[in-house]
A = this chain, B = another copy of it.
Amino acid sequence: MASISAGPEIERLIQLLAKLPGLGPRSARRAALTLLKKRDQLLDPLASAMRDAARAIKTCETCGNLDTASPCAICRDPRRDGHVLCVVEDVADLWALERAGVFRGRYHVLGGALSALDGVTPERLNVASLIERVKSGIDEVILAMNATVEGQTTAHYLMDALAGAKVTRLAHGVPVGGELDYLDEGTLNAAFKARRSL
């Protein structure tokens, strides 16, 4: 990116903003300009919110979720079924499932997926603590990994590591609202194989 001759402070701000997921160099420039144009309404509140969140948010020692307390609100909630564990790669996946409101058990956040390419081994994920938790009276472990190569590799690894426990995985198939014409062969294949009688 060429220099914009507006001082090192703006350059540094743009560089850091560009490290956020979803912001490239171009949108980072626009974001920096917006911040500087709306100092009172946006820049100052955002800087404060970042400091507040950094201070307040902890990683739950039980499940790996982010919350203001550890154990997190989900691990503390007595109305949630502590005998069913849903294993996800990332906190973002936990949030997605919570938004959908489909699951009333507890979670375990791995903190990523196995990847030989990126050097992510089982030791770098929260696998040991998962195995410990499953030993202590879990009826079902639902593997909710992403349907990517890394996610599925991780799921296979966990199937072996959790041998003896009841392990399930999310169903593959046609997304609700999806059009067949736009789906890949793998999805169509999975949807066909798992077809259900009406």
- Residues on A lying within 8 angstroms of B by beta carbon are 1-2, 4-7, 9-10, 12-13, 16-17, 19-23, 27, 29-36, 39, 42-47, 49-57, 65-68, 72-74, 90-92, 95, 98-99, 101
Contacts and interface: CB of A to CB of B under 8 A. Distances in A.
A30 B36 contact: no
Contacts of A9: 49, 52-53, 55-57, 68
Contacts of A95: 4, 6, 29
A22 B33 contact: no
Given A21-B27, A46-B16, A53-B9, A33 B2 contact: no
A20 B13 contact: no
A33 B66 contact: yes
Contact of A33 (B27, B32, B45, B91): B91
Contact of A5 (B43, B57, B98): B98
A21 B28 CA distance: 9
